[in-house]
Chains A and B, each alone.
Chain A
């Protein structure tokens, strides 16, 4: 938790004063972590405990908070809508990942090179990143409207589907809009990752006669291991937080087709005013999120300090 224990202890060059060396050996004082820790306790841990407590109560948001044992948990776990919400969340998580990961990786590699036209394209790719989710959702809702949207406007019947009202289509439309918004972000991460790879590796490979594709699979991909883990963690855990975009775009509908867990939690808490059940759902979300994040970090292996640049 504190920075003092995680700072790598390394002997740096000579010529420093004794005081500096001692600080570097032990890392900066643990007290420096106190402000951050205090904020973390106040704004992350405390509310979390509050939610855990609320999940054992029944409260409509107005009256008294009554201790109610496991009744909220029973309601939530017995409700078929919860199971459906989990399934929808898993689907959106899966499809978002398999759509976004390859596109962002390729775009990241593409934009990392130094040609001018690529830099210009990169700027264009990043435009969606500047827009708020609500704005993106409102724009797509207007474009996809079956009566006044893009399809009827341009006279293209295949675009005039009932994109957001058809239970079979809507999930993929949501995945598409999410990808449109978040691919630029992950592209940026990959671009940074690719630029960190030393050029000497590629030069050596060229001398050994490796082609472009071989270089990509044997140098770029392995070197991007931790970048991939970071980006994937953000993608997968981020799917547990998609709320604003879907709330504005479909409000969870039609029916329950896009009512994923965070949205279900919000609607239970603030539309049905059942704060006890909403808190139970919140706890489930936190547990799933932590478990996924831990699992993805494990994929990276235990020895995080091992060099990726062997032979470089």
Chain B
């Protein structure tokens, strides 16, 4: 018998053994706190809410050892890709974290998430704890498929009070005032606006607010309803033109297109005084509270609504952003997992401990009757401001990239990036986007 043959055969056997042991490793991950392979699973996002979700699930698992939940966290962008692939393959978590809108609709169309209307009817307490306008965002064709799980997230114009005092300026109330501030800040060696342009979605906040202020919420409602040529609305063209004027004036910080919002570099520019203002979601307050505690607690952080545009139709109290994030229940989960998930939604979520946890982290939970708790918080100024902003808004437009279908949303962000880089004109943007309608 020759050696070569034996050795090769041995290698083949050990390779096969190795692959089997690798497969065995893959199927059972490390066990969480009291959770087993059959437990309900939950995927959340890293960042501001992470400790709050962690604490909530841990205390649930402690008091419900028989129906424990296994919780994993992912970074925002990575999560969006992973969860969709997993749900498509029938391997999604029991509780699917989402934003409502177009993505939720695609899950519903594919029959991947359960109808929760019956659950809400059986549990009127759950229904009545939410702010009604926010509960509405989880409804598709009259049925509820997603329940809010955290905080209201309007987009806010933040500013650095110290920098404003230095040049003796007031936060802008109109677009003209905003444009007039640009040269003043530049002369003082401060960038007027920070922007996480590489992440692309922060660009969108500018378009969303400008279109709303100029043409009102109907303009985007038409786009979302797939009306032909909806992107050619004069309000969209004017908003894009204004954005390019602001870029031309040097309104955004040098190198904005290489700054990623996911690494919080954009908000760091604000609290380090390198930029005077930033248009961002209310969630960055949580990040700044953690990364720049002194800046926030000493009251140097200012916030104001997005400026009005002269002759614009939109109500200045209108808000864009994310009404909340949501839990949907996977239709592919076992009955046991679904039962656990719904019990957690009913009793584990938005109990006193969870609500207080959210408030302490610097967020406004999406439930009613929390005014007293907000007023007792050290962050009461910001929290009551955000709460009022969301509650009193005549219209709360969901972030466009979430409201539209994924294909349209992706094309929109890519083309908007081109607008900020001045590679295309507003008219080119409109015609490219009109071609994606219905996709």
**B258–A255 touching, CB < 8 Å:** no
**A29–B258 touching, CB < 8 Å:** no
**B407–A273 touching, CB < 8 Å:** yes
Q: Which of B282-333 contact A (CB under 8 A)?
A: none
Whether A271 touches B410, Cβ cut-off 8 Å, given contacts A62-B88, A62-B110, is yes
Residues of chain B contacted by A144 (CB below 8 angstroms): 258
| Docked complex Cα distance between A28 and B2 (Å) | 10
- Chain A's interface: helix, strand, loop or mixed, by majority? loop
Whether A62 touches B106, Cβ cut-off 8 Å, given contacts A146-B254, A146-B255, A164-B258, is yes
Whether A165 touches B257, Cβ cut-off 8 Å, given contacts A148-B268, A270-B81, is yes
Residues of chain A contacted by B414 (CB below 8 angstroms): 256
A169 vs chain B, min Cβ distance (A): 10
Among A19, A148, A267, residue most surrounded by chain B Cβ atoms (within 10 Å): A148
Choice from A35, A163, A164, A256 contacting B16 with Cβ under 8 Å = A35
Choice from B5, B110, B411 contacting A63 with Cβ under 8 Å = B110
Q: Is B434 an interface residue (CB 8 A)?
A: no
User: How many contacts between A and B, using CB within 8 angstroms?
Assistant: 110
Q: Is B85 an interface residue (CB 8 A)?
A: yes
Report the interface size class on chain A.
35 or more
**A255–B417 touching, CB < 8 Å:** yes
Whether A165 touches B84, Cβ cut-off 8 Å, given contacts A60-B106, A255-B421, A272-B407, is no
Choice from A32, A60, A273 contacting B9 with Cβ under 8 Å = A32
Residues of chain B contacted by A250 (CB below 8 angstroms): 198, 258
**A271–B406 touching, CB < 8 Å:** yes
Q: Which of B1-47 contact A (CB under 8 A)?
A: 2, 4-5, 8-9, 12, 15-16
Residues of chain B contacted by A19 (CB below 8 angstroms): 2
Whether A61 touches B417, Cβ cut-off 8 Å, given contacts A165-B257, A254-B258, A272-B407, is no
Name the residue on B nearest A165 (C-beta).
B258
Residues of chain A contacted by B158 (CB below 8 angstroms): none
Choice from A64, A167, A251, A270 contacting B85 with Cβ under 8 Å = A270
Q: Is B157 an interface residue (CB 8 A)?
A: no
Q: Is B137 an interface residue (CB 8 A)?
A: no
Residues of chain A contacted by B406 (CB below 8 angstroms): 60, 271-273
Name the residue on B nearest A29 (C-beta).
B5
Whether A63 touches B421, Cβ cut-off 8 Å, given contacts A147-B255, A147-B259, A162-B255, is no
Q: Is B109 an interface residue (CB 8 A)?
A: yes
Name the residue on A nearest B106 (C-beta).
A62
Residues of chain A contacted by B351 (CB below 8 angstroms): none
Q: Which of A216-270 contact B (CB under 8 A)?
A: 250-251, 253-256, 267, 270
Q: Which of A139-160 contact B (CB under 8 A)?
A: 141, 144-148
Residues of chain B contacted by A163 (CB below 8 angstroms): 258
| Docked complex Cα distance between A60 and B265 (Å) | 33
Q: Which of B79-130 contact A (CB under 8 A)?
A: 81, 84-85, 87-88, 106-107, 109-110, 112
**B198–A271 touching, CB < 8 Å:** no
| Docked complex Cα distance between A48 and B15 (Å) | 23
| Docked complex Cα distance between A178 and B198 (Å) | 20
Q: A264-291 vs B: 1/0 string, CB under 8 Å?
A: 0001001111100000000000000000
Among B12, B200, B253, residue most surrounded by chain A Cβ atoms (within 10 Å): B12
Q: Is B418 an interface residue (CB 8 A)?
A: yes
B192 vs chain A, min Cβ distance (A): 14
Q: Is A20 an interface residue (CB 8 A)?
A: yes
Whether A274 touches B407, Cβ cut-off 8 Å, given contacts A146-B254, A147-B274, is yes
Choice from A36, A63, A251, A255 contacting B106 with Cβ under 8 Å = A63
Residues of chain A contacted by B199 (CB below 8 angstroms): 251
Q: Which of B51-105 contact A (CB under 8 A)?
A: 81, 84-85, 87-88
Name the residue on A nearest B9 (C-beta).
A32
| Docked complex Cα distance between A20 and B406 (Å) | 63
Whether A62 touches B255, Cβ cut-off 8 Å, given contacts A148-B268, A255-B418, is no
Choice from A20, A29, A141, A162 contacting B254 with Cβ under 8 Å = A162
Whether A167 touches B253, Cβ cut-off 8 Å, given contacts A62-B110, A162-B258, A253-B198, is no
Whether A254 touches B421, Cβ cut-off 8 Å, given contacts A62-B87, A62-B110, A273-B406, is yes
**B258–A145 touching, CB < 8 Å:** yes
**A20–B85 touching, CB < 8 Å:** no
Name the residue on B nearest A274 (C-beta).
B407
| Docked complex Cα distance between A114 and B198 (Å) | 47
Among B15, B84, B274, residue most surrounded by chain A Cβ atoms (within 10 Å): B84
Residues of chain B contacted by A62 (CB below 8 angstroms): 84, 87-88, 106-107, 109-110, 112
**B85–A32 touching, CB < 8 Å:** no
B185 vs chain A, min Cβ distance (A): 15
Residues of chain B contacted by A35 (CB below 8 angstroms): 12, 15-16
Residues of chain A contacted by B274 (CB below 8 angstroms): 147
| Docked complex Cα distance between A20 and B418 (Å) | 69
Q: B208-247 vs A: 1/0 string, CB under 8 Å?
A: 0000000000000000000000000000000000000000
Q: Is B197 an interface residue (CB 8 A)?
A: yes
Q: Is B166 an interface residue (CB 8 A)?
A: no
Residues of chain B contacted by A256 (CB below 8 angstroms): 414, 418
12 contacts between A and B (CB under 8 A): A60-B106, A147-B254, A165-B259, A251-B260, A253-B417, A254-B417, A267-B410, A270-B81, A270-B85, A272-B407, A273-B106, A273-B406
Identify 20 new A-B residue pairs, CB closer than 8 A, beyond the known A32-B8, A253-B257: A19-B2, A20-B2, A35-B12, A60-B407, A61-B85, A145-B259, A147-B253, A148-B268, A162-B254, A165-B258, A165-B259, A251-B198, A251-B260, A253-B198, A254-B421, A255-B418, A255-B421, A270-B84, A272-B406, A273-B84
- Top 4 A-B pairs, shortest CB-CB distance: A146-B255, A165-B258, A164-B258, A162-B255
